Structure 1
Amino acid sequence: MPCGGSRVRSASVHGGVALTLSAVVAVLAACGTGGAPESATSASVAPPAQTPGVPESPRPAPNVSPSVSASPPAGAPTAKPLPGARTVTGRASSVSGTTDEATLTAYAAMADRAVAAVEQHWTRDWPGRVTLVAPADLTQFREQTGRADDVSQVAAITDGPLDAEGRATADRVVLNPEAFARLTPEGRQFVITHESTHVALRSSLPGAAPLWLVEGFADHVGYAGSSRSRAELAAGLLEKVRAGQGPTRLPTQGDFDPSQGEIAPAYLASWLAVDLIVRRYGEAALQRFYVASTVNASPAQADTAMDAAFREVLGTTRAEFTTQWLAELRRLAG
């Protein structure tokens, strides 16, 4: 039975970043019981039979959005520790949780790989370490994140206090145990790499860029090294393009809001926009564009900064780039 095409969702919450389960599961989770890893909606993904192991070659993201990130204001108290947690330390990671030690060890290995991937794509100074929290059940996850709403699509939440300049000082990635149970090892690796990208950028830059750039950049790092083509990874979005229901502009904040409709296409669209920047201008130009588009101000001011970055860094305009990106979507959908 074919799987649906939701993708990992990530949303900026009060200055933070979020990645939802629907995006991750759709690409990386197994469809149904005993099926090969394929895209699937979070509701149709069967729990894996084994504990997280070494991931296979990267594949499209799963049907769960990796995480939602929230930033307490400057001076906020440090997050409370998880009662009864044990800690496993990796080369560039620390994982505390109440699940079994084998799972914590697997998460630490994934986090180490994630940090290595981030450092290939982000050259600004950052601590170069990631802290994960792995609660054993949903109650502990809610206690750690303060979330009382529906988190069935949220694979993880990245949160942490900000300094006076708006730079994250102690981010951690809290994993949703129920969502992670639906993911293959590949899906977990994608989520942790995506979130580690947010940790790196939030700790080295004050403020935030437009959300499509934030999420597209994190997906760019998460998909790096995938053996699948862009058309395979973006199949769910390209189906909409073929049906005449594709995007007509770069994604805006509302496109990442699940209360306003399906959010998976916004993630894929953002990733393909960032991918186009890399292929046309290079990785270094993408970093300069990201930095120039980041402001510690309102989303409207971030959009203004981004428009200037299109001109000054890429030598184009938002309108011209959007035309090229939409043409690329039609070509891939061809």
Structure 2
Amino acid sequence: MAGLALAAALVGVGAWALLHDSSYVALPPGPSAPQAEPAAAAVALQDLGRALTEGDADAAAALAPPGDSDAEDLLAAVAGNAEALGIQPRLRYVDETGGVGADGRWSAAVDLTWRYADDSGTEPARAEVTVDFAPVDSGGVAVAGFGGADTGRLPVWLSGPVVVREGPGVLVVAAGDGTTVRAEALRYLRLSETAVRVVRRVLPGWHARLVVEVPSSEAGVDRAIDAEPGHSAAIAAVTAPVDGSTTGDSPVHVFVNPEVFDMLRPTGAQVVLSHEAAHVATDAARSTVPPWLLEGFADYVALRDVDLPVTTSAAQIIRQVRRDGVPDALPGAAEFDTATTHLGATYESAWLACVLLAERGGERGLVGLYDDVDAGRPLGATLQRRFGLSETALTRLWQRRLADLAGSGRVPAR
């Protein structure tokens, strides 16, 4: 025990000597870790906003890190996009979105406000986007790119060069450059011009411009609408507010998924764009109309003058009824979830419900129903007033039509 006590005492003496010996000198601190520079980044954003507003590609490219040709090309392209689309953006630094790399680079959330010149009559879009920054040896901060990681909102015009095409009542913005993209943009323009005419046959009072954006890929669509990766895998096109707002009056555009859309036949491609144009005309992206009426009405508009037999237009729901029987109810939000199977059959079944209503009360009656319900009037009361039907009676008529088309003759009991 005495030995142990002596050893402990010796350790204590050694520690005292280490702490109190005047010859002990602390090591100098190592090099400090790189830090984000919000003030310098805010200045860079101010310069970038000025360059984009003026459409000055050289001034924008000069804000890239020295020697970074990819960033220079991107910034120059974005300035060209801003000029072509009449964008006068405002950018405000918010906060870092992660750590600072060993090279001093970091990403930050930036509050972006923008609007295309052809979106006049709407409020500017406003959303947080990610901007990448890099320190400059001579002092200050450079803009290294946009988007950061592979998630978060990234407007198409900020993702790289775009091709812009305009026609009567239509603006098309297609990501990319070169001969192929220019040809594709022209094809989308022609389809969109036809879509506008299709919609105005049913909704002659709609006069706003249709804006169609075509990202370069499915992932580009997800980034443009700030959806989870893979969300757009089964979608040919979607109509959405460009900043994701569910209230207010920010611009609403059609976003095309080229990976799905380009597999469609000409008639199918036209129906898809006409359907989405109907959504734009009715501001469906912010509507509380029941899903079957919202989607069925858009398909009614798109298919109204398409010369196809009902057995073709409703082929998927007919097959489903033959296999599984007649649905118990009109489709709701769960059936329209993009992750579900038989999505095409769901759309066709909703279309058939609207066709039934148009047959019973005329096209003006169907339009009136949609307008009334969109304005907040109860569906049941409006159906009764305009068509003399309860919701239950409409469902029974719809089930009977499905059973007849499928040749099953079986309708669920009351």
TM-score when normalising by structure 1: 0.68
* Partner SS, residue 186 of structure 2: helix
Do the aligned residues in 2 keep the contact of 1:145 with 1:157 (CA within 8 Å)? Answer: no
User: 1:96-115 maps to which residues of 2 (within 5 A)?
Assistant: 96-99=173-176, 100-115=181-196
How far, CA to CA, are the matches of 1:161 and 1:127 in structure 2?
A: 19
8 Å CA contact retained: 1:88, 1:95? yes
Q: SS where residue 277 of structure 2 aligns? A: helix
Quick one: structure 1 residues 162 and 168, their matched pair in 2 at CA, closer, same or farther if it must change by over 3 Å? farther
Equivalent-residue separation in structure 2 for 1:326 and 1:89 (angstroms) = 44
Give the corresponding residue for 1:173: 254
Shift of 1:269: 0.8
User: Do the aligned partners of 1:220 and 1:271 also contact (CA within 8 Å) in 2?
Assistant: yes
Identity of aligned residues (%): 26
Q: 1:174 & 1:163 partners in 2: Cα distance?
A: 13
Aligned to 2:105: none
Kindly indicate whether residue 396 of structure 2 is the aligned counterpart of residue 316 of structure 1. no
SS of the residue corresponding to residue 216 of structure 2 reads coil
Q: Any conservation in 1 of the 2:318–2:402 contact (CA below 8 Å)?
A: yes
Amino acid at match of 2:386: V
Task: Give the CA RMSD over aligned residues.
Answer: 2.7
The alignment partner of 1:77 has SS state of strand
1:89 aligns to 2:166 (yes or no): yes
1:284 to 360, 364, 368: 364
Q: In 2, are the aligned partners of 1:168 and 1:202 still within 8 Å (CA)?
A: no
In structure 1, list runs of 5 or more residues that go unmatched.
Answer: 1-73, 297-301
What is the CA-CA distance between 1:236 and the residue it aligns to?
1.7
1:311 positional shift: 1.2
Decide whether the 8 Å contact of 1:154 with 1:179 is kept in 2: yes
1:259-295 deviation per Cα after TM superposition (whole angstroms, max 9, x unaligned): 4543222211100000111111100000111112125
Aligned ranges for residues 232-251 of structure 1 at < 5 Å?
232-251=312-331
Structure 1 stretch 257-266 or stretch 234-243: which is displaced more? 257-266
The structural deviation recorded for 1:137 is 3.0
Is 1:189 the counterpart of 2:262? The answer is no
Q: Is 2:296–2:354's contact at 8 Å kept on the other side of the alignment?
A: yes
Identify unmatched segments of 5+ residues in structure 2.
Answer: 1-122, 128-153, 408-414
Matching of residue 325 in structure 1 with residue 398 in structure 2: yes
* Equivalent position SS for 1:159: strand
Give the whole-Å Cα distance in 2 for the aligned partners of 1:194 and 1:268.
Answer: 12
Secondary structure of residue in 2 paired with 1:148: coil
User: Where does 1:106-255 land on structure 2 (aligned, <5 Å)?
Assistant: 106-123=187-204, 125-150=205-230, 151-160=232-241, 166=247, 168-202=249-283, 207-255=287-335
Q: How far apart are 1:84 and its partner, in Å? A: 1.0
Relative to structure 1, is the Cα distance of residues 164 and 322 closer, same or farther in structure 2, using a 3 angstrom cutoff?
A: same
Which of the residues 256, 261, 269 maps onto 2:349?
269
CA contact (8 A) 1:84 1:98 kept: yes
For residues 145-202 of structure 1, give each alpha carbon's deviation from its aligned partner in whole angstroms, at most 9, with x where no partner exists: 2223312101122211699994654111111121122222222211111100000000
Give 1:31's aligned residue: none
Across the two proteins, how many residue pairs are aligned to each other?
252
Whether the aligned pair in 1 keeps the contact of 2:224 and 2:242 (CA below 8 Å) is no
- Is the Cα–Cα contact under 8 Å of residues 234 and 338 in structure 2 kept in the other structure? no
Spell out, residue by residue over 1:41-63, the C-alpha distance to the aligned partner (whole angstroms, 9 max, x if none): xxxxxxxxxxxxxxxxxxxxxxx
- Structure 1 residue aligned with 2:24: none
Provide closer, same or farther for how the CA distance between residues 179 and 324 of structure 1 changes in structure 2, counting only shifts above 3 A: same
Which structure carries more relative contact order (alpha carbon 8 Å, separation 6+)?
A: 1
Q: Superposition pairs for residues 2-41 of structure 1, below 5 Å?
A: none
Is the 2:126–2:243 contact (alpha carbons within 8 Å) kept by the matching residues of 1? Answer: no
Cα 1:149/1:98, change in 2 over 3 Å: closer
Q: CA deviation at 1:140?
A: 3.1
Cα drift, residue 206 of structure 1: 6.6
Contact 2:169-2:207 within 8 A present in 1 as well: no
Structure 2 CA distance for aligned equivalents of residues 257 and 206 of structure 1: 17
> Counterparts of 2:324 and 2:265 in 1: how far apart (Å)?
32
Q: Is the partner of 1:228 in helix, strand or coil? A: coil
Max radius of gyration: which structure? 2
| Contact 1:97-1:104 at 8 Å conserved across structures | yes
1:241–1:247 contact (8 Å) kept in structure 2: yes
In the TM superposition, what is the alpha-carbon distance from 1:256 to its structure 2 partner?
A: 1.1
